[in-house]
Amino acid sequence: MNINLTPATEPVYTAVDILGLGECMIALDSPRALESMALMTCEAAGDVYNTMVAASSMGARCGFVSRLAKDPVGQMILEACAQENIDTSAVKLVKDGVNGLYLTLHQEVPGNHAFVYYRKDSAASRISPQEVIESQVKAAKVVYATGISMALSPSAEASVIRLFELAKKHNVLVAFDPNYRPALWAHRDEALSALLKVLPYVDILLPSLEDLIQLFGMKEPAHLLEFFRYKDVPLVALKNGAEGITLAKGRKICHVDAVPTRVVDTVGAGDAFNGAFLASMLQNTYSLEQCAQIGAAAASACVGAKGPTRGLPTWDQLSNAVGRVSV
Ligand SMILES: Nc1ncnc2c1ncn2[C@@H]1O[C@H](COP(=O)(O)OP(=O)(O)O)[C@@H](O)[C@H]1O
Ligand SMILES: [Mg+2]
């Protein structure tokens, strides 16, 4: 006879490989300039969600820690997560608040875009540290959050810190992308101080060079990497658009080329890289350089398709990228 000892009131959280904390929104995307408003597409998106989708496409079990307002939009987002195999057992549905929304406005030149956010005081921004469940963190292999997760509100920032503290306590890897969005911060220094606050927890730092140049005012990748080495960050994957990725582990530095493609839409490229890089690291089969090559292949597929989560390859489709790598 099976006896379930879990009290009926205690929620059951699913064990996952990658546990991400952030906000999933509805994204409206104009095909070109704003005059094509009637042609806008609508989908679930958000940097942490995009990363989870990329990792999940490659077979990693992913889970989301967040809040959604309990309305038809929240329901659509939950369904999108279910379709992508992203666990939402730690997503709290709340009666008050709204779900976030953003617009991506593309310019004539592919790759040029602006974001307009409607997410202030959203349900997700009201997440609190108590919503980060220790048993779920303990069961994960990697926890993931970004500068955007921290920008949402002071309680969201505290929740990210709680996630990272618990991860450290249980020897779970901490991955972080600074993903600097000036529109989400009152001042650049706030974003910089948030990054410096989490840096001591971070095992895998996944910044884009463009973000770091804006945040630090330093242009030289070598100087930025030297700073992170001085701060004892064990591994940095520095993404630099079509120039590819620089990996830095201690004093060891190596460059990985981007995979050339026709640029359709660069939104989400960094997220796709992060998801595929983390998912391939979790396979314990590939060198870090190979993992970055797999990440670059996934990011290239993302750049070649519209939207941040479309065109993402499955593990089988990435076999070419792995095949090119000399073991
Ligand atoms: N034009 C491009 N062609 C091929 N790959 C690209 C291109 N732009 C970006 N990528 C890939 O996506 C990764 C992340 O892009 P990047 O622009 O550096 O980050 P983010 O999207 O966070 O701003 C790059 O390291 C590269 O592998
Ligand atoms: Mg980015």
- Residue nearest to ligand 1 atom 3, measured at CA: 242
Contact call for residues 175 and 198 (beta carbons, < 8 A) = no
* CA distance linking residue 297 with residue 275, whole number of Å: 12
Contacts of residue 171, defined as CB under 8 A and 6 or more positions apart, other chains included, come to: none
Strands 62-69, 86-94: pairing is parallel
Side-chain half-sphere CA neighbours of 196 within 13 A: 10
Atom of ligand 1 nearest to the CA of 210: 23
Residue 267 CA, ligand 2 centroid: distance in Å:
8
Angle (CA) 32 186 124, round 5°: 70
- Residue nearest to ligand 1 atom 20, measured at CA: 270
Contact call for residues 101 and 26 (beta carbons, < 8 A) = yes
* CA distance linking residue 180 with residue 167, whole number of Å: 23
pLDDT value at position 322? 66
296 lines ligand 1 (CB under 6 A): yes
214 lines ligand 1 (CB under 6 A): no
CA 194 to each of CA 88, 206, 230: distance values in angstroms, whole numbers, following the listed order: 26, 15, 18
304 lines ligand 1 (CB under 6 A): no
Strands 173-177, 204-205: pairing is parallel
pLDDT value at position 327? 35
161 lines ligand 1 (CB under 6 A): no
Residues of the chain with pLDDT under 70: 1-11, 32-36, 108-111, 319-327
**pTM for the whole thing?**
0.94
Residue 296 CA, ligand 1 centroid: distance in Å:
8
Atom of ligand 1 nearest to the CA of 240: 18
Residue 271 CA, ligand 1 centroid: distance in Å:
9
- Residue nearest to ligand 1 atom 7, measured at CA: 242
Digit-coded pLDDT (tens) for 187-242 = 999 999 999 999 999 999 999 999 999 999 999 999 999 999 999 999 999 999 99
| 41-45: strand order across its sheet | 41-45, 25-29, 101-106, 113-118
Residue 89 CA, ligand 2 centroid: distance in Å:
26
pLDDT value at position 115? 83
- Segment (H or E) for 275: helix 269-281
Digit-coded pLDDT (tens) for 263-304 = 988 999 999 999 999 999 999 999 999 999 999 999 999 999
pLDDT value at position 41? 87
pLDDT value at position 323? 55
pLDDT value at position 83? 97
Instruction: Tell me the β-bridge partners of 146.
Output: 177
Contact call for residues 247 and 235 (beta carbons, < 8 A) = yes
pLDDT value at position 318? 78
